[in-house]
Structure 1
Amino acid sequence: MKSAFDAFAMLGFHAARLTLVAEELNAVCDGGVSRSPGWRKVINQGRTQGLTVYALSQRPALIDKDTLGNASLTRCGRLNWEPDAKLMAKMMRCRPDDLLDMPKFHFIAKADTGEITQGIGQRV
């Protein structure tokens, strides 16, 4: 699966000017590190290629930190595991309990400008 993900990321990078969605990113990371050269290109150079990237995970503590650090917008809903909540609370400038106790569909979002907003998503 990891080699297929790397190929997917590299194809997306070279195709340029598209929206790339990676869901459950933790499945292709090893202990919070991505070993995919394609994904590293997407995350570190994708903006220059015109990429819009949606990197999704229910386990943010297990995804690579370049993905979190390079995000233009990070949105976090309720988390159920304390290590995930601690990591995201540090990033979102809130308390871990704010994320552990958050009602369903509520979220906190942080832009790369530092602006933090809160809201309620729609049930689908």
Structure 2
Amino acid sequence: MIAPGVIDRQSVDQPVQTGYKSVDAMIPIGRGQRELIIGDRQTGKTALAVDAIINQRDSGIKCIYVAIGQKASTISNVVRKLEEHGALENTIVVVASASESAALQYLAPYAVVQWVNTSVTVVKML
């Protein structure tokens, strides 16, 4: 499957509120866009992603949280927090933990992309 060219894609015209005013103001995210959060260790990447998902709880947006190379305990905490806030119902969690092979960690996000490309729902991948 080949992704459509930039000109053939629909424009993003519906903003998504992450719950962080600084993110929403400086680097707004649109409905249907993917969000890559990168940074050094212990800088709050997971907290930002989880909070953004929790803020979509009542919006009707389906979120996908892809955890690659994270510890099982971290993933468990994320799932627990999403469940506590009622956001797990609209969230798909894809995991290739640190104990998985490098090949599986490499392929996990591509499996998600394949599913999203064949899906008809609006999703937000984090």
TM-score, scaled to structure 2? 0.35
Structure 1-normalised TM-score?
A: 0.35
Pick the structure with more strand per residue: 1
Q: Structure with the greater relative contact order (CA < 8 A, sep ≥ 6): 1 or 2?
A: 2
